[in-house]
Amino acid sequence: MKDDPGDPAREPWSQRPESSHRLLGLSDDELLYWIEALPAEHREDRDLLEIVRSRRHFFIRQEAAKRITNASLLKDHAGDRHIGQILVRGMRRAEDASYLQRLISETRHLEVRKAAEVQLQLIQQALAEHGTGS
């Protein structure tokens, strides 16, 4: 994982890394503006996922992850402490509970574990209130 500051394989941050993807050629400010300007009902999950997969600053990647409408697209990034928190906060269905339980036991990032525990409790509360589970 390239999140650890002491990791020698960690990529240095660059405001405008070289990329063939049209959005990744933008500066951080331009990219944030594009992300924030997206309407609530957008069809840009693929472009947002490219940003999440990129080597951009964690804040840029987090903002892109927050705007992805299909949270399951983020599952491949559960091990990333910055994206994993956003992934679990988007999980609301009973089917997500087993994934959250597995993530709690497997993640090495405290932030992701805590967010997953809170989200799992919310799902369990909702199920109990609706009389459809424990």
Output the pTM of the full model: 0.66
User: Which pLDDT band, with edges at 50, 70 and 90, does 44 fall under?
Assistant: very high
Question: Would residue 7 count as lying in a domain?
Answer: no
Q: Are both 60 and 91 inside the same structural domain? A: no
Domain boundary among 48, 69, 90: 69
- pLDDT score recorded for residue 117: 94
Q: Are both 61 and 98 inside the same structural domain? A: no
Whole-angstrom Cα Rg for the chain = 16
- pLDDT score recorded for residue 121: 92
Domain boundary among 49, 69, 89: 69
Tell me how many domains the chain contains.
2
- pLDDT score recorded for residue 105: 92
Closest CA to 17 of 6, 4, 31: 31
Average pLDDT over residues 67-73: 89
Question: Would residue 10 count as lying in a domain?
Answer: no
**Residue range(s) defining the domain that contains residue 89:** 72-134
